[in-house]
Amino acid sequence: MPSPAAGILSVHMGYDIVQFESTPNPNAVKIWLDQPISDRPRSFLNAEMASEDPIARDLFEQAGIVTALFNGQWLSVNKSPEADWPTVKKNVRAVLAKAARGL
């Protein structure tokens, strides 16, 4: 059985955010990237599910998200109702920048 991280194209790729796209859910945002983050859809419904994927794990631990979906050239993240988008978006950018440097 492949590990949950098997769908990662590369942990060392550089990810630039092209656009944050609003969704009907005020606690979710779709994030378009300049290149694929995954070769197939991958859902992370909690931090435990993200523990084997370095980027997903860091999004939970450092960006404060509560769910994530990676799918090709975009990802979708949910925040808690108490979290504010400016902080979450700043932290998501930091996680993706860190991943881009392969740290």
Q: How far apart are CA 30 and CA 72, in angstroms?
A: 12
Residues 23-60 pLDDT 10s: 999 999 999 998 899 999 999 999 999 999 999 999 99
In the chain the domains, ranked by start, together with CATH numbers, are 4-100 (3.30.1370.70)
Q: What is the pTM (predicted TM-score) of this model?
A: 0.82
Sheet containing 28-33, strands listed edge to edge, beginning at the edge strand earlier in sequence: 17-22, 28-33, 74-79, 65-71, 42-44
Contact partners, residue 103, CB within 8 Å, separation at least 6: none
Q: How far apart are CA 67 and CA 60, in angstroms?
A: 8
Pure H helices in the chain: 47-50, 54-58, 85-100
